[in-house]
Structures are given as C-alpha cells and as structure tokens.
Amino acid sequence: MGLSPSFYLFFALLIGLCFGSFLNVVITRLPVMLMRRWRNEARASLELAEEKSLRFNLATPRSMCPRCEQPIAWHDNLPLIGWLKRRGKCAHCQTSISIQYPFVELMGGLLAVVVVALHGPTLSAMFIYGACVTLLALAVIDFRTYLLPDMLTLPLLWAGLAYQLLFQPLLLPGAVIGAMAGYLVLWSFYWVFKLITGKEGMGFGDFKLLAALGAWVGWSMLPLLLILSAGIGAIIGLVAQAIYPRLRGQPLPFGPFLALAGWVCILVGNELMTLYTSLLY
C-alpha cells in the first residue's frame, strides 16, 4: 500500500519549513561574508594588513540576538514555532525579531508543498524546489542590500542547464539561448539607459539573474517573464510611493520582481503560455 498524497505534502511542508530556516541564515550572513571578503581584498590591493575578526560563516557563530548577543536556544529556533512562541521577541532582551524570519520559513514550506503538488516527490521536483528557494533567498537579499550574489545566481544558471539536460534534453538548446538572451536583454537596457540619462538603471546581478531564469524557462518564455516582472514592479512601486511619499525618487531593487516572475514561469509558465496563445489566436 503506497503512501497517500497528503503524506507527501505534509512531509514536504516540514522539510520546506526547515529549509526556510536555513535560508534565513544564508540571507543574513552571506552579504556580511561578502562585505568582509571585499574589504580584505581592497586592503590587500593597498598593501594593508588584513582585518582581524572572529570567524564568521554560515555555520559559525551560533544564531544569536543581534542586540543582546545571547545565543538562541534550539527550541526557539524551531521554524515558525519559535517565533510564535516568543511572540516575535527575543527571550532575553525582548527586542522585536524581524518578520523576515517567519516569512522566509513559511515561504520555504509553501513552495515545497506547491512543487510536490505539481510534480510529485521526484528528483526533478528537487531541482525545481532548489531553484525556487534560491530565488527566494536572492529576492530577500536584494530587497535588503541591493545585492544579487554570484554565489547564488551562477549556480542557479548552471542548475537550470543541468535540469534541462537531465529531464528535458530536447529543450536544452532553447535553455542555452535563453541564458544568453536573458543576459543580453538587460545588459542592452542598462547601457541604453545609461547613455540616455547618465545613470545606472540596474546592477550586473540583474543580468545574471535573468540569464539564470532564461536557462530554466527557455528563450520563448523570456518576454512573458519580463512583462510579469516589470508589471509587478511598476504596480508595487507606485503603491509603495503613494503610501510612503519618502520613497519617491528612491531606487527600487528589480531582483525581487524577477524572482517572483521566475516562480510563476518555472511553476506554471507552460499553462500561462497556452492561455496567452489561445487568447491571441
């Protein structure tokens, strides 16, 4: 007797919540790790001594409150449960804990459920889930720091090509073209915008992210992806500026909107393309 679909979905939810907890570590620590590395590279080029600091990576030190620096107990680190149990506050100093933590954990769980519901408990689903949570990490990092680290975008690109090679080899040429076209489209926009205005409209990380998404969805879906990301970004930007006037004139990261459109195209892009073509013809 096989296991029921509801069991797989529940198991996916638990695994996804735990993976979301790990993503919070990546989101919080990876930018700091990069900044430290860049500072030391700059000091080395100036022939200055390397900065001395405590070891800091994804495993060390233990999770702690950023204000009182008290280590967080294991039971307070349980995905969602720990945050809800403490009502979003540190157990020691009562400092509020960012809503980012339960949000990312919940999204990690929900994405796992959606992927398993659409693709079943398969190896291809693991690849797709990996792409979705990488996009989640990139979206939050870009929102917080305006960075899209190569350490995430480039593996995402190669994973997309590997996915096509393993599971859809006939689509591999389209994926390669998609990666090339994705980079070229935003690279061209960047230079046209800079030549016209003298300003930089986006960062090089956006080029690499769209190239990675092109590898996952192929060149034919790039127009839909760009329309979705630009449309969502424009709507959210206008609403945010209407609610918070101080945001007017402030730069808006494009990565979160690319990531959101990437989720849509990776998960249900074929259905959207079918609907789009049926409406046209």
pLDDT digits (tens, 9 = 90+) for 259-280: 999 999 999 988 887 877 776 6
- For 187-209, what is each residue's pLDDT tens digit? 998 899 888 888 887 888 999 99
- How far apart are alpha carbons 270 and 217 in whole angstroms? 9
Question: Is the pLDDT score of 70 beyond 80?
Answer: no
When pLDDT is averaged across residues 166-189 and rounded to a whole number, the result is 95
Q: Are 12 and 113 within 8 A, CB to CB?
A: yes
Q: In the chain, what percentage of residues exceed pLDDT 90?
A: 54
Higher per-residue confidence, 271 vs 159: 159
Helices (H) and strands (E) in the chain — how many of each?
9, 0
- Reported as type and span, the H/E element at residue 143 is helix 123-145
Helix (H, G, I), strand (E, B) or coil at 64: strand
Structure confidence at residue 194 (pLDDT): 87
Look at residue 202 in the predicted model and tell me its pLDDT: 81
Give the tens place of pLDDT for each residue, 244-254. Answer: 777 777 778 99
Please give the biggest Cα pair distance in the chain: 68
Greater model confidence, 219 or 45: 219
- Distance separating alpha carbons of residues 206 and 195, to the nearest angstrom: 18
Residue 167 reports pLDDT greater than 80? yes
Least confident of 71-85, 185-199, 217-231: 71-85
227 pLDDT band (50/70/90 cuts)? very high
Please state, in angstroms and rounded to a whole number, the distance separating the CA atoms of residues 256 and 34: 20
d(CA 277, CA 256): 27
